[in-house]
Structure 1
Amino acid sequence: MTVKVILTDIEGTTSSIAFVKDVLFPYAASHLAGYVRANRNAPLVQQQLQATAQLLEEESPGSEATAADTDALINTLLEWIAADRKATPLKVLQGLIWETGYKNGDYAAHMYPDATANLRQWHADGIPLYVYSSGSVKAQQLFFGYSQDGNLLPLFSGHFDTQSGAKQAADSYRNIVQQLQTQHVGLLAADVLFLSDIEAELDAAREAGLQTCWLIRDGKIPQASAHTAVPSFDFVQPL
């Protein structure tokens, strides 16, 4: 089946889970309180505080949390970091904090060599590349813009995050295909190949009609799976 567009996950797929877990998350956690307090009047930060308060109200009707209760919201955000919650306002704030770290040279995003090599080759072959990650679009752009292999951002045609929906929901992939169709006239779901290390995400993408490829970098490749399973990008054959 022809692949016209490649959509890829990041964590565990193009890059090590350890970088996100052991470098980015602790950095955001240690800097979040200071960053929010210093920038709480900035429009974008204020929007995320309001969105956090709204989520708390939706989950606990009658909650008195407001965007003005900065300390309470900071505590909530720190709890969400510890729980690895995929909340959009948290992801936006993490992206803003990580931007400081990247620009200060505190770290560079990890890339698997096979991922970098093949992404570059597919781009050279004319295959449009897109990213779908639970991290915000801003965080994705920083990740690839400040990678250990240099600025890889020009390889990608676009980015999708949790605003398109949860990664384990088929409707999220249907939403993404609809957005891709505005850029690629006549594109079908079956023309899109989704790469991920999470089987449940691949199940959702497959339900939406996408082609799927399961990256299993550490572990045994299953004998039978609904998804093509490979140990690295070197075994992905989109052409």
Structure 2
Amino acid sequence: MVESTSVKVLLLDIEGTICPISFVKDVLFPYALRVLPETLRTQWDDPNFAKYRDAFPSEYSSSKEALEAHFRDLVEKDVKVSYLKSLQGYLWKEGYASGNLKAPLFADVPTKLSEWQHKGLKIMIYSSGSVAAQKLLFQYTNASPSDLTSRISDWFDTVNAGLKTDANSYKTISSKYPAFSPNEWLFLSDNVSEVDAAIQAGMQSVVVQRPGNAPLPVEIPKRLRVIETFESLDDNLEAHIN
């Protein structure tokens, strides 16, 4: 494990870290599946929709039926490809704006984001969901005020950073901010493989075990730090404001 040092940048996962896994699996995914057929029927030739349609491989973007079948197959298998994530974000946008979707953040999250920002810490997001979908989630939350996007300094996904289980992705992210050394970054995620990748890249990293997450193997707490709330991080964070 990387030796602890003062944290200047917090890099946060979303699903299972700042909001329940169930919101993505049981709310967002089904919502997109539910509204997709009508969207394909009414917007297939709409220029605003065309860029999402045409991002799919040609064998699937050639017809509404093929695209819908492929979309459903990818969601069922939880395949993390950029063109799927982009279209999901497009479908969710209307749901958020209409009030049908609202991100249920864990209770400690809004307060800690505000505290960290006030201390001068940089807060960034790294999720397999598209950057557009990330911004929607933080714009429409159950917090008061609802829009927390102003708390976030930057956004990363599998398109602009890479796969979350690849150490090179974390090197790509940290290289964008050369003023901060990798060990001044703290990555928080419920996924042990992602935590291991971040540590391999030189970052500090902690496993977040939230309600609804799968139980961790018994050996994980023996080699990695595990927390259940962001409140547990207070003693390890020290802002350096220049």
Equivalent residue number for residue 95 of structure 2: 101
**In the alignment, does 2:197 pair up with 1:204?**
yes
CA offset at residue 104 of structure 1? 0.6
Deviation string, structure 1 residues 65-118 (Cα, Å, up to 9, x no partner): 153323212210111111111111111111111111111111210100112211
Equivalent residue number for residue 171 of structure 1: 168
Q: Is the contact made by 1:109 and 1:143 (CA closer than 8 Å) also made in structure 2? A: yes
Equivalent residue number for residue 126 of structure 1: 120
Bigger relative CO (Cα 8 Å, ≥ 6 apart): 2
After the TM superposition, which residues 1-239 of structure 1 pair with which residues of structure 2 at under 5 Å, given as runs? 1-43=5-47, 45-53=49-57, 65=59, 67-149=61-143, 150-163=146-159, 164-179=161-176, 181=177, 185-218=178-211, 219=215, 222-225=220-223, 227-236=224-233, 237-239=236-238
Using the alignment, how far apart are the partners of 2:32 and 2:151 within structure 1?
27
The amino acid that maps onto 1:39 is: Q
3-state SS of the aligned residue for 1:21?
Answer: helix
Q: Is the contact made by 2:60 and 2:70 (CA closer than 8 Å) also made in structure 1? A: no
Using the alignment, how far apart are the partners of 1:191 and 1:22 within structure 2?
35
Deviation string, structure 1 residues 18-45 (Cα, Å, up to 9, x no partner): 1111111100011112213322334453
User: How much identity, in percent, do the aligned residues show?
Assistant: 35
Using the alignment, how far apart are the partners of 2:94 and 2:111 within structure 1?
27
Q: TM-score, normalised by structure 2?
A: 0.87
**Structure 1 spans left out of the alignment, 5+ residues:** 55-64
3-state SS of the aligned residue for 2:16?
Answer: coil
**Structure 2 spans left out of the alignment, 5+ residues:** none
Using the alignment, how far apart are the partners of 1:127 and 1:110 within structure 2?
24
Using the alignment, how far apart are the partners of 2:47 and 2:175 within structure 1?
30
Paired positions, count:
224
